[in-house]
Structure 1
Amino acid sequence: MTARLFLRDNGLGLAFGTAFVLALIGQAFAGHADFNNQLVADDLQPISLGDYMASSDFAVDVMENWQSEYLQFFLYVFLTVWLVQRGSPESKSLDRIGVESDEDQQVGPHARPDSPRWAAAGGIRLKVYASSLGQVMGAIFVLSWLAQSVTGVSAYNEEQLRQLQAPTSWREYIVSADFWDRTLQNWQSEFIAIASMAILSIYLRQRGSPESKPVGAPHHSTGVEG
């Protein structure tokens, strides 16, 4: 495969991967400057960019965004099995609610010659593979939320000590206002984004996008991609 074909065939992943790295670098520089401004305001010595990126303050900001994003995908993957939205390309057809038949899903005896091996295997391997996307998204969400709580309590206690106040335990922190403020401000943005995409795509179009219906498709067409 030539480099040109590789870039064409993997353009979406490469574009978002590059955007992720650039955004993370930008966040590191902006967060470092803001953190040092706070230190100076507290009559403390600024720290280097490397020290900031290794700090709990940087880690908790990253983790709280990751966990909310993976919660969005985890819920979307599972809820769209059973919930539909009439007219939305983000929803499957109204007559396909549920896990669907083995024939529809091309598993077991209905697997194609080029189907994944576990799709044709049956038994526990098929059960695991059949929900592997949601399981992995859910696992990443739980792990990143745990990481947020651990780095969050460390960052919170550093701030407490700078203000000459007593630190708190991890158990106390995960029921604190600081933890849930960080968490819920991200969750609400993810939920409204999903709802907006599902509903606006009923009436609005983006020509050539698989996230949109064909421009001429009627509003009531459901599960149709452009």
Structure 2
Amino acid sequence: MKNHSFFYRNGLSIVFLLLFIITLAAQVLAGWKDHNNTLNDAGTSSLSFMAYLDTGHFISSTFENFQSEFLQMALYVVLTIYLRQEGSSESKKLDGKEEVDREPKASKNAPYPVRKGGWMLKLYSMSLSIAFVLLFAISWGLHFYGSLLDHNEGQMLNGKPVFTAAQYLMEPSFWFETFQNWQSEFLSVASIVFLSIYLRQKGSPESKPVDAPYRETGE
């Protein structure tokens, strides 16, 4: 094995993590200024940057996006086990077993749960989907909490009664926030599944080889 640099071996995760940090910081700064403009328009004093991080405006806007991403990935991981799309690089082949379907075998280089076996192996064999489902549930809960805080802050600024959690769960504005994110994620997955049938990107593992027939499924 070649002695590659740390960045070469981990470049994809490093670049996306940096992009996440940069865009999150930009979101927070823009959100802070936008929220203070709203408060000033209502005749209320501005919040400090640290105080803004504890507001429903920040919590809701951040986790509103997180939960839709984790839902997308949880569904994608699970549905690609059972469903097929002829010609797509994102689908398993229409017939036969693939490498990901084989039963795990213990070896000295296998992950610890595989070597241990039993319930630990069973759990590990579903750990990716479990992780995404848990991340979705946590993010959805934080989005709901932040959205409730933000909504009630607006209610108080306008001299209206605040909502309980049960009342807000039936509020259309919360579900509007939720569904507008979910549908965009489902559309993006449908796009890569369908477009990868007919379009190519040389060198990308998300694409079939440039000369692959349209009806060829998977890599």
Q: TM-score, normalising length from structure 1?
A: 0.90
Distance in 2 between residues matched to 1:209 and 1:175, nearest whole Å = 44
1:134 pairs with 2:129: yes
Distance (Å, rounded) in 1 between the aligned partners of 2:82 and 2:15: 32
Structure 1 residues 1-226: aligned runs within 5 Å = 5-96=5-96, 104-107=101-104, 110-224=105-219
Query: Retained in 1: the 8 A contact 2:56–2:147?
Result: yes
Specify the code of the residue in structure 1 equivalent to 2:54: A
| Displacement of 1:125 | 1.6
Deviations 1:29-78 (A, max 9, x none): 11112111211221221222222122221011001110000000000000
Aligned residues with identical type, % of pairs:
40
Where does structure 1 lack aligned partners over 5 or more consecutive residues?
none
TM-score by length of 2: 0.93
Q: What is the alpha-carbon distance in structure 2 between the residues aligned to residue 31 and residue 187 of structure 1?
A: 22
Letter in 2 for 1:95: D
Q: Given residue 170 of structure 2, which amino acid in structure 1 is its aligned partner?
A: V
**Aligned CA distance change for structure 1 residues 42 and 53 (closer, same or farther; 3 Å):** same
Pairwise CA distance, 1:121: 3.7
Q: Which amino acid is the alignment partner of residue 152 of structure 1?
A: S
CA contact (8 A) 2:55 2:149 kept: no
Larger RCO (CA under 8 A, 6+ residues apart): 2
State the Cα deviation string for residues 74-117 of structure 1 (Å, max 9, x = none). 000001110011111111111247xx799x5241xx44542223
Residues 129-155 of structure 1 show CA distances to partners (whole Å, capped at 9, x for unaligned) of 110000010001001101111121111
Q: In structure 2, how many angstroms separate the alpha carbons of the residues matched to 1:95 and 1:62?
A: 41
Residues 74 and 129, structure 2, Cα contact 8 Å, conserved in 1: yes
**Structure 2: how far apart are the matches of 1:74 and 1:157?**
31
Q: CA RMSD in A?
A: 1.9
Query: Relative to structure 2, which stretch is displaced further, 49-58 or 161-170?
Result: 49-58
Q: Distance in 1 between matches of 2:19 and 2:126?
A: 29
